[in-house]
Structure 1
């Protein structure tokens, strides 16, 4: 039992790097989904505007 070390600094750099990468991945996915949602919203607004102008002319 002399070889069991409970050093809190053991592999902390690896844990921090893993956690940082995890949260950057989550932020990237959320950002990508928000961008897709924004593009879909703008596309729908454009289609709605075209529909309204074509309905007024008929």
Structure 2
């Protein structure tokens, strides 16, 4: 496997991809996310939701806890 450009992003996706995909799929089904006018707004929204979960969870959201 070759990593070019931003290898840290590629590695993060390799290790976190499935968890991020699951979180994103669930979050994008919310009424809030569906009401946003563009794909970019939905991406920003899901990133904010993930950041909020990470900051407020007593467990480790990177591991699904």
TM-score by length of 1: 0.35
TM-score, normalization by structure 2: 0.32
Kindly indicate whether structure 1 or structure 2 has the higher relative contact order, using CA contacts under 8 Å at least 6 residues apart: 2
Task: Tell me which structure has the larger Cα radius of gyration.
Answer: 1
